[in-house]
Structure 1
């Protein structure tokens, strides 16, 4: 594994990028294809399909192997005494730009909680795609303020409503509401770790095909873990 630690934005929040992560990544694509077709995601604003990985799925071994390999990285990068898995899935972006809702056209946060760590595993090689992180221009926020954790989420809801009325597509590098502060290009078998409270968005290129086929689409493995910081252990 090739591990790179990036401290991004004014908050100096850590984003970990690891290349050549999984020993047999092509087999993961086949494991995901065996679970297709994926259902539409309805529990979050994710613009596409998501298949939860349950304990009886063959792919559950992948989750265990991934976390075993990432355990020292999670401990070191996020000062974690220990952690627990909260969710694992395979996902595919399939919603075309003209069909997006306002909330899907802006960056988002996964949680107000800085102890929720997102693990994103790219299992595709689509040029121009990736994950970007942002600062909200009006407030200067890149993540929720601990003193008022709900403020950023309320601001994002307002921006989503405004942008929905403007009928725009996926968020780009910058616009009048958000400034991009970091971008990690997607590469096959690249994995990223970051706090779910960081404002971020998938970057979708203009010529994207929105395929629902795990062998052809923007397939990702998505794992969330809840850490207990050393200071609280």
Structure 2
């Protein structure tokens, strides 16, 4: 079902934070929508949530096309300016979903127990919208301690993957738990705090993870769970 009424807050303000030693710019917009009620209601009434086919530890459902269009129209120019997107490239949405964390720690695949990156493409971005009006876990940015990498580019990918495998062989796989703090393999160096109606945009090559609060976040009900809107875009 489309979200037709006026949606985006015309007075939103963009805050730019630079994270980590690599000083990667991240966009944060508070009070992004005039009201999140319709977008949440759409998820509750019409969202056909199914188990994610990716390594996302939960369920996903398609976002309303009208919502996606309005979001991208409102931030497109700012993304191009901040990240210096070449004019010859065009924005291509890659995935547009509601997301809910549903996996208990003991259900996690080994790759769900460590921070991840979405893509090595230099102009691939995650657009994350915190929807639930409850208190939930933040989004953390991590540094890979053996290599010092905060972002995984194409030139770093094989080095990072080989180093990760070597760490597993030497010290064993991580215990079945969400990665929510610094450990012997990854360092949590910054985070985007959870705040209802906060939008964040960051490069998909950053190592990141939801800082899952197992008391509040593992819930398949879009009315009470950690409901987010996730839009992944690439410039090709």
TM bucket by the smaller chain? 0.7 to 0.9
Q: 1:162 to 1:119 in 2, by over 3 A?
A: farther
Asked if 1 retains the 8 angstrom alpha-carbon contact of 2:131 and 2:196, the reply is yes
Q: Residues 146, 38 of structure 1: CA spacing in aligned structure 2 closer, same or farther, 3 A cutoff?
A: closer
- 2:209 matched residue in structure 1: 201
Matches within 5 A, 1:137-152: 137-152=145-160
Q: How far apart in 1 are the matches of 2:126 and 2:58? A: 18
The number of equivalent residue pairs is 222
Cα distance, 1:45 vs structure 2: 0.9
Structure with more strand by fraction? 1
Q: Give the Cα separation in 2 of the matches to 1:193 and 1:25.
A: 18
Structure 2 gaps, min length 5: 1-11
| Aligned CA distance change for structure 1 residues 140 and 97 (closer, same or farther; 3 Å) | same
Q: Which residue of structure 2 lines up, in the alignment, with residue 51 of structure 1? A: 61
Q: After superposition, give the CA deviation of every residue in 1:29-72 in whole Å (9 maximum; x if it has no partner).
A: 01111233400012x2100001134xxxxx11000000011112
Task: Report the equivalent of 1:93.
Answer: 101
Aligned to 1:56: none
Deviation at 1:98, TM superposition (A): 2.2
**Under a length normalisation based on structure 2, what TM-score does the superposition of the two structures give?**
0.86
Q: Which residue of 1 aligns with 2:7?
A: none
| TM-score, length basis structure 1 | 0.87
Q: Distance in 2 between matches of 1:159 and 1:61?
A: 45
Structure 1: give runs of 5+ residues left out of the alignment.
Answer: 54-58, 229-233
Taking the aligned partners of 1:165 and 1:190, their CA distance within structure 2 comes to 34
Q: In the superposition, relative to structure 1, how do residues 225 and 37 fare at CA in structure 2: closer, same or farther (>3 Å)? A: closer
Q: RMSD across aligned C-alpha pairs, in angstroms?
A: 2.1
2:111 corresponding residue in structure 1: 103
Question: Structure 1 residues 145, 119: CA separation in 2 closer, same or farther (over 3 Å shift)?
Answer: closer
Quote the residue 2:69 is aligned against. Answer: 64
Greater alpha carbon shift after TM alignment, 20-29 vs 30-39: 30-39
In the alignment, the residues of structure 2 paired with residue 60 and residue 155 of structure 1 have an alpha-carbon distance, to the nearest angstrom, of 40
The match for 1:38 is 49
Report whether the alignment pairs 1:181 with 2:200: no
Match of 1:31, SS state, is helix
Q: Do the aligned partners of 2:136 and 2:217 also contact (CA within 8 Å) in 1? A: no
